[in-house]
Amino acid sequence: MANDEPHVLLLRLAGPLQSWGDQSRFNRRETRPEPTKSGVIGLLAAAQGRRRDDPLDELLGLTLGVRVDQAGTLLRDYHTVSDYRGRPLPQAGVNAKGVQKPTSPAKHTHVTQRFYLQDAVFVVGVAGPADLVTSLAGAVRSPAYPLALGRRSCVPTQPLVLGQRPGTLPEALQSEPWQAGQAARREFQRRHGRPAHIQLSATIESPDGDDVVHDVPLSFDPRGRRFTSRRVSHSWISAPTGFSDPDGPVSEDHNPFALLGW
């Protein structure tokens, strides 16, 4: 296949915690129920060794597809913030010298909340020219900077790279076997037996999509972060379950997180 024909890099985004925010406020940081394009491009840029103020160039031309293999559950992390010196917390306003003013009346503790997805598994496809996809696969396997699932504290588990596939995003997402953890697979088997395929929800970037999301990063520069929108389509995909023997036991690959349900 010629190098200018599209290829798809398939990633398995899984870990104890993930957080994919498309908006941020100091006292409340939420997460979307699936990876954002800004989060995935940020992961790829970190793998390549790009700094926050570096141009994103060809990464913005990648097309994104997300398949939800294990939705996970929402976790709220409660924080309080205070000044270790016992001083009142500053307010957003500044004085004539550009120094933040203290809160009035004095406020010594500020409550913040962080939201995460726990025990979630996603198959993410990024489609683009074959040479670029090959380069990105190598970068993710040997990243220049540590990789994270939305936030630095959210570390991915292995395998992260599922491989490269020729063809379109829908074809790649439909052909990749179900990647849910062993606990989810056992529960599915208990409820439904061992069918050859499972219906999974998917969000695929498309110019004809019926939904709009504002998560395309034009710049990660902390002095001027900029985003734009893209159109996506929501659908259901029939994917192989990986149950090769309808009457046999579920395979138990060696996994250090098996006791946690991975």
Structural domain span for residue 168:
6-79+109-260
- pLDDT (average), residues 28-34: 89
H-type alpha helices, 97-229: 130-141, 169-175, 182-192
21, pLDDT greater than 90: no
The reply to whether 89 falls in a domain is no
Distance from C-alpha of 10 to C-alpha of 67, rounded to nearest angstrom? 10
pLDDT digits (tens, 9 = 90+) for 45-64: 999 999 999 999 899 999 99
250, pLDDT greater than 50: no
More confident: 136 or 243: 136
Q: What is the distance, to the nearest Å, from the Cα of residue 38 to the centroid of all Cα atoms in its chain?
A: 9
Total domain count, the chain: 1
* The CA-based dihedral angle spanning residues 173, 132, 139, 15, taken in that order and rounded to the nearest 10 degrees: -20
Whole-prediction pTM: 0.83
Any idea what the CATH number is for the domain that residue 196 is in? 3.30.70.2660
Q: Considering only 17-21, 23-27, 86-90, 129-133, which range has the smallest mean pLDDT? A: 23-27
254, pLDDT greater than 50: no
